[in-house]
Structure 1
């Protein structure tokens, strides 16, 4: 009997371990993370500046006693924000899974209540039928894996809007997003999941990946929600596969490019500065 699927972190990346063979493959999110994101540098700098301006007296007080501590407080501003948002997102995803499975939901934390209301409105408006949720998509051909949010059936009219009477049923790979925006790289994630060979349940049971007609993202924030289609065609999937090769280069191939020196100097110049330091 297969066991529960496990994940490990190595070098800042997540890897999935096959429940049958213990084979290690990189996660979809880590592969998509190979995309260049120069805007993050400017965002982190702005977050540091905003934290300093908003907390000038506190920063000055810390700096008087511990300059290093004040620097650390400011330079870690963006990581504290990211961790906070990740915690909210994780709690919201857990809430969405329980709601899509039609579990009874009691009172939730005030921070989650806007997300609960938005997701409840989504369920009423779209009336999705759940096929799978929070399982692992596994590609034997391309050696990657990742946990997807849901596969849903929705009934849509010719205009692409919900039509519960005369619409056509569509099977969609769906991702929930609770960040400020839904960004284009969600298409790479969804394409990777949809093109995987099989789906593995939490207890390790493997089945062929269900055939999907497309993909969609539910972007839900305290201010509202949108449910919109996402491209997952061959062009998008090929971009993901390119990033899969980049990941392989970064983690493995790049470490093999240099061989033993063909020749090297027989002596090393020792400068006067180095002698005096000794």
Structure 2
């Protein structure tokens, strides 16, 4: 029996290792990361400015003793925020998986309690039936893989709202705990839904089942919303374009220059220059 799918980090990107063939393919989120993000420098600058204004006495005190330390403290404001959000997001995803698998959840950290309450409301309102969670979607045809949050069945009425008597839909679902849900979630979900197969934690593989659509559960301490997401051919083709960009960035771009056809010769170093040195 094949082993579990392993992942490795190379050059800041995640790669998945096929447990049967040892083939290495890039992860979905690393491919989606090829999207331009022109807003990031402005966001990072704003985080530094807000940190300075909100902590002015502390920053001043640090700067009086260690100017470089104060600069680093402000410069890394966005990194600290991102790491904090990543930790909360990871813990919340773990909790969501346990809850949708009907595990009993006891007391949780106060930071997670709003997410627990919101997810419990979602389960009661939508009544999703879990098919799979946190398994790996693998594309043999296009060479990528990624771990998806959940594949569920929900019953929806003609108006698209939850209805116990409605039609059953199989949905690829992503949980988001960030401040906003961004359009690139459609690229992630389209990649998972168009993959060839699903690989379980023990390494066994099955064809990707028929998927009717996709949805994102955006859940914050203030509330939650469950909304459909496009994963049609147009969206998937955008993802495939980014797959080509990833290959260009990591592989093809390193092969474009050949050996020099001609180049300058070493300049003559005169005796005067040697003596001056």
Q: Where do 4+ consecutive residues of structure 1 move more than 3 Å?
A: 274-278
Residues 107 and 276 (structure 1 numbering): CA distance in 2 closer, same or farther, change over 3 Å? farther
What is the TM-score with the length of structure 1 in the denominator? 0.95
For 2:137 and 2:178, the matched residues in 1 are separated by 23
For 1:172 and 1:276, the matched residues in 2 are separated by 78
Report the counterpart of residue 218 of structure 1 in structure 2. Answer: 217
Report the counterpart of residue 48 of structure 2 in structure 1. Answer: 48
For 1:200 and 1:269, the matched residues in 2 are separated by 64
Report the counterpart of residue 263 of structure 2 in structure 1. Answer: 264
For 1:200 and 1:276, the matched residues in 2 are separated by 70
For 1:242 and 1:176, the matched residues in 2 are separated by 25
Question: How far off is 1:64 after superposition?
Answer: 2.2
Residues 27 and 159 (structure 1 numbering): CA distance in 2 closer, same or farther, change over 3 Å? same
Report the counterpart of residue 149 of structure 2 in structure 1. Answer: 149
For 2:140 and 2:197, the matched residues in 1 are separated by 8
Question: How far off is 1:259 after superposition?
Answer: 0.8
Report the counterpart of residue 229 of structure 2 in structure 1. Answer: 230
What is the TM-score with the length of structure 2 in the denominator? 0.96
For 1:230 and 1:66, the matched residues in 2 are separated by 49
Residues 265 and 198 (structure 1 numbering): CA distance in 2 closer, same or farther, change over 3 Å? same
Residues 91 and 261 (structure 1 numbering): CA distance in 2 closer, same or farther, change over 3 Å? same
Unpaired segments ≥5 residues, structure 2: none
Residues 63 and 162 (structure 1 numbering): CA distance in 2 closer, same or farther, change over 3 Å? same
Is 1:202 aligned with 2:197? no
Question: How far off is 1:240 after superposition?
Answer: 0.0
Report the counterpart of residue 108 of structure 2 in structure 1. Answer: 108
For 1:47 and 1:73, the matched residues in 2 are separated by 11
Report the counterpart of residue 185 of structure 2 in structure 1. Answer: 186
For 1:137 and 1:224, the matched residues in 2 are separated by 29
Report the counterpart of residue 122 of structure 2 in structure 1. Answer: 122
Report the counterpart of residue 247 of structure 1 in structure 2. Answer: 246
C-alpha offsets along residues 11-70 of structure 1, whole Å, 9 cap, x if unaligned?
110111111111111000000000001011110000011111112222222222222211
Match of 1:237, SS state, is helix
Residues 277 and 114 (structure 1 numbering): CA distance in 2 closer, same or farther, change over 3 Å? farther
Q: What RMSD, in angstroms, separates the aligned Cα atoms of the two structures?
A: 1.6
Question: How far off is 1:185 after superposition?
Answer: 0.2
Residues 268 and 114 (structure 1 numbering): CA distance in 2 closer, same or farther, change over 3 Å? farther
For 1:22 and 1:89, the matched residues in 2 are separated by 30
Report the counterpart of residue 36 of structure 2 in structure 1. Answer: 36
C-alpha offsets along residues 70-120 of structure 1, whole Å, 9 cap, x if unaligned?
111111100100000000000000000000000011111111111011000
Is 1:173 aligned with 2:172? yes
Residues 276 and 33 (structure 1 numbering): CA distance in 2 closer, same or farther, change over 3 Å? farther
